Structure 1
């Protein structure tokens, strides 16, 4: 998808797709996407518009961030981006690596940290207001099918569905901050 098509579809004022479509396809609101785009551009020149060796514009920042989000949100393989975005597998993987490194660098201190005492006090107060004293979040688990597992590990990773799975456990607070995650074998 060229830069012009991407902009006309999602990001121009009279775009083809609505805010709800953007939310469904990008798993976030348009303003959050644009904030992330702005933040990564401020830190890493890789996400600025450049010209290639032939003098033509290279992939736009919107294209690069869109590819990274598609790979993260949908688990899209890098080589499938060539068909939809015209970006080679190696460029997609480089873009994803650059994006993940920047997200860690920019947001680690605020969002990717353990709760401090102030956070815990706020969460406990909110839970008490909702008649759940002492609670800081909700715990949930899910089984993810593991498609390309080593055959010798099948028995240790087979869950209730008799297929190899990995368990994801997460604890999230009322404001949807995830405070704990754990990957493990079924039954752990």
Structure 2
């Protein structure tokens, strides 16, 4: 059985050693950055309770208003992205902390795209820094293009045009 306290202590000692060595080589006397625990696990629980559990706080209509797409479509896109891109899968960071869940990452992106708010707008709700939100947006866009470009980012065919007109007339 591994003693987690001693292995954590050993890990921290090693990390401190390398940080000091790096600072000496760089001639840097910058103070050590303080890491703020934003409690992303709690933020995920709140997000799940609000929208994605069996009896969520907000109904499907509210979801569609806030995300500008139906929940089933959001979940389908999320599943496709999670299956094809490792970055969107849940994992652990170098510090041993759990990363953001795929649903948190996609929620950040979709809310940025639908509301045109800056990336730091959802910091308190998703516990996500603006830098991470921007990364999510970049990865999301590249994955969406990779997954759906052939089907949706092409010129319409002769068979597509009548369908498009029918949908347009219905609106």
TM-score scaled by structure 1?
0.63
Does the 8 Å contact 2:44/2:126 carry over to 1?
A: no
Distance 1:173 1:115 in 2: 14
| CA distance in 1: counterparts of 2:103 and 2:124, whole angstroms | 17
Do structure 1's residue 23 and structure 2's residue 64 form an aligned pair? Answer: yes
1:116 is aligned to: 157
Unaligned runs of 5+ in 1: 124-135, 139-171, 177-188
Aligned partners of 1:94, 1:100: CA distance in 2, in Å?
A: 10
Other structure's SS at 2:159 match: helix
The alignment's C-alpha RMSD in Å is: 2.0
**Any idea what SS the aligned residue of 1:117 has?**
coil
Aligned partner (choices 79, 92, 106) of residue 65 of structure 1? 106
Query: Which residue is equivalent to 1:104?
Result: 145
Superposition pairs for residues 6-155 of structure 1, below 5 Å?
Answer: 6-120=47-161, 122-123=162-163, 137=165
The answer to whether the 8 Å contact 2:88/2:102 transfers is yes
Q: Structure 1 CA distance, aligned partners of 2:59 and 2:102?
A: 21
CA distance in 2, matches of 1:174, 1:114: 20
Give the distance between the partners of 1:175 and 1:114, measured in 2 at CA: 22
Structure 2 gap segments, 5+ residues each: 1-41
Distance in structure 2 (CA, Å) of the matches to 1:119 and 1:38: 26
SS at 1:68 equivalent: helix
Structure 1 residues 108 and 175: CA distance shift in structure 2, 3 A: farther
Higher-strand-fraction structure: 1
Larger RCO of the pair (alpha carbons < 8 Å, separation 6+): 2
